[in-house]
Amino acid sequence: MRQFPSQALAAFGLGEGTNPRLLAQAYKDYAAKLSNAGFPDEEDLDKFAPPEDTLNPVQMIRGDIPNATPWGSTPHMTAIHRAEFLKILVDRVAACSNCTAHFSKKLVSYEDPSVGPVQLSFSDGSFAACDILIGADGVKSTVRATMYNRLAEAADTEEEATKLRDHVNPVWAGQVVYRYLIPREDPVEAADPSHRCLTIPVEYQGKGVGLGAYTVSGGRWIDVGAVIAKHNLFGSTFSGRWSVTVDREEVTEYFSGWEKESRVLVELMKSPTRWAVNVVPNLPTYVGGRVALLGDAAHAMAPYQAVGVGQAVEDAFILATVLSQVQSNSRCADALTVYDEIRRPFSQSIQRLALKTGIALFMDKKGEVPLGPTFEYGELEDSAEGFGKLFEWSATTSLLPDRDRALKNYHMLL
């Protein structure tokens, strides 16, 4: 974990969309409990989570033709400024009386011996020991790499070992996202005072190209993300740096001939950051011995459901729930087994849904096309039918039955 000065955090921060399932359940209903565990409390949340009656659906607009034509919407979303959210978490963890946070530590590997605690090695030459290790170290996870190399070493056959090693590194989703924060008032209002993104979240779409814009940080910034998707490259390795600042022209060329609102936004992306979207699909387990993976380390996904953060928080919520039941070290493994049992199927189903949403959003509405070298673009159809359904789960399902199932399964293992 690394703590940057808050100025630096603000400069690096971008928005993260989140959804009703998370806000309504993991946060609001459990604010007090989560707050004790270092999560934001309701007062913190009110700074960035607007009341539900002010949440807006995302307006879908066909963008690759001259006159912007709205054709549908997704369920409402709330956008959180990533840097602000991170700062709240860091402040909370630092202030937590019953835990110690060490910042600026980089894990290089771990050992999980049959006797004694898990041993951690850090890049500064220091070591630490722990009863269990939770690897929430993102898409490039060192914990996942170590875990899957160890699992491969222990495999019965070379074929099995090769399959396990395939999970050490993430794969490129064939997509890049250009992101930039535009100050709300000056340029956008000056260029187009009635620009839709000033009042509602919007998505402009074309075949393999899209642009999303929504306000964050109490409306002070407009978070703009332009996606270029080449699904035939899904599963390959991205050559080059994953995150790099590029010239505006690299983005604007994709939007020539598009309707006016999207061109206004891309023209204002003065120095966008290009992110290669890498994913961690289909891990056969999130757990190895006394070590568990959480968040992007376990299931980094395409961003089209805007739930990478939400799924990481759901992992943490279920894991914290089962770990709170553990009375002795001998039962840690049971808790991790239950976590894997409950969270892996659900998070991986959302991961598949996120890919399907991307295909439906930018290519064709069926979203069933197999990815990889044989992928071909379908025809873009301006039909809202079926598209909204891809988001229904976030408003109609609950995390709480999974919590109850986790508790039941853990106690049944006694």
Ligand X SMILES: Cc1cc2nc3c(=O)[nH]c(=O)nc-3n(C[C@H](O)[C@H](O)[C@H](O)COP(=O)(O)OP(=O)(O)OC[C@H]3O[C@@H](n4cnc5c(N)ncnc54)[C@H](O)[C@@H]3O)c2cc1C
Q: DSSP characters for 1-13?
A: -----HHHHHHH-
Q: Does 203 bind ligand X (CB under 6 A)?
A: no
User: 3-class SS at 122?
Assistant: strand
Minimum distance, C-beta of residue 319 to ligand X, in the bound complex (Å) = 12
Of 26-34, 46-54, 135-143, 263-271, the window that binds ligand X (rule: CB under 6 A) is 135-143
Q: What is the token pair recorded at 50? A: 């607007």
Under 8 Å CB-to-CB from 39, ≥6 apart: which residues? 27, 31, 89, 92
Q: Does 350 bind ligand X (CB under 6 A)?
A: no
Binding mask 284-303 for ligand X (x = CB under 6 A): -----------xxx-----x
Size of the chain, expressed as the number of residues it contains? 414
**Residue 179 and residue 195 in contact, taking contact as beta carbons nearer than 8 Å:** no
Minimum distance, C-beta of residue 414 to ligand X, in the bound complex (Å) = 31
- The angle at the Cα of 265, spanning 367 to 88, to the nearest 5 degrees, equals 80
Minimum distance, C-beta of residue 103 to ligand X, in the bound complex (Å) = 10
Q: Which helix (H) or strand (E) holds 261?
A: helix 260-267
Q: How many other CB atoms are there within 10 angstroms of residue 32's CB atom? A: 10
Of 104 and 162, nearer to ligand X (C-beta) is: 104
Looking at 217-333, which runs of residues are DSSP E strands? Answer: 221-229, 243-245, 273-279, 287-288, 291-293
Minimum distance, C-beta of residue 133 to ligand X, in the bound complex (Å) = 11
Q: Of 177, 211, 216, 264, which lies in the binding site for ligand X, with binding defined by CB under 6 A?
A: 177
Of 49 and 277, nearer to ligand X (C-beta) is: 277
- The angle at the Cα of 136, spanning 131 to 140, to the nearest 5 degrees, equals 125
Q: Of 118, 224, 264, 306, which lies in the binding site for ligand X, with binding defined by CB under 6 A?
A: 306
Of 272 and 310, nearer to ligand X (C-beta) is: 310
User: 3-class SS at 373?
Assistant: coil
Of 315 and 364, nearer to ligand X (C-beta) is: 315
Minimum distance, C-beta of residue 67 to ligand X, in the bound complex (Å) = 28
**Residue 78 and residue 18 in contact, taking contact as beta carbons nearer than 8 Å:** yes
Of 359 and 410, nearer to ligand X (C-beta) is: 359
Q: Does 393 bind ligand X (CB under 6 A)?
A: no
Q: Of 308, 318, 360, 406, which lies in the binding site for ligand X, with binding defined by CB under 6 A?
A: 308
Please give, one letter per residue, the 3-state secondary structure of 91-152: HHHHHCCCCCCCCCCCEEEEECCCCCCEEEEECCCCEEEECCEEECCCCCCHHHHHHHHHHH
Q: Does 138 bind ligand X (CB under 6 A)?
A: yes
Q: Does 75 bind ligand X (CB under 6 A)?
A: no
Under 8 Å CB-to-CB from 15, ≥6 apart: which residues? 79, 80, 81, 82, 181, 214, 216, 217, 221, 223
Q: Of 309, 335, 338, 350, which lies in the binding site for ligand X, with binding defined by CB under 6 A?
A: 309
Of 59 and 334, nearer to ligand X (C-beta) is: 59
Of 150 and 163, nearer to ligand X (C-beta) is: 150
User: 3-class SS at 109?
Assistant: strand
Q: Does 135 bind ligand X (CB under 6 A)?
A: no
Q: Which of residues 141-160 bind ligand X (CB under 6 A)?
A: 142
CA distance 272 to 274: 6
Q: Of 307, 318, 335, 380, which lies in the binding site for ligand X, with binding defined by CB under 6 A?
A: 307
Q: Which sign does the torsion angle of CA 386, 213, 76, 32 carry?
A: positive
Q: How many other CB atoms are there within 10 angstroms of residue 336's CB atom? A: 24
Minimum distance, C-beta of residue 48 to ligand X, in the bound complex (Å) = 13
Q: How many other CB atoms are there within 10 angstroms of residue 271's CB atom? A: 9
Number of residues that bind ligand X (CB under 6 A): 26
Minimum distance, C-beta of residue 121 to ligand X, in the bound complex (Å) = 10
Q: Which of residues 79-108 bind ligand X (CB under 6 A)?
A: 105-107
Q: Does 33 bind ligand X (CB under 6 A)?
A: no
Residues at the contact surface with ligand X, assessed by CB under 6 A: 1-2, 16-18, 105-107, 136-138, 142, 177, 179, 275, 277, 295-297, 303, 306-310, 312
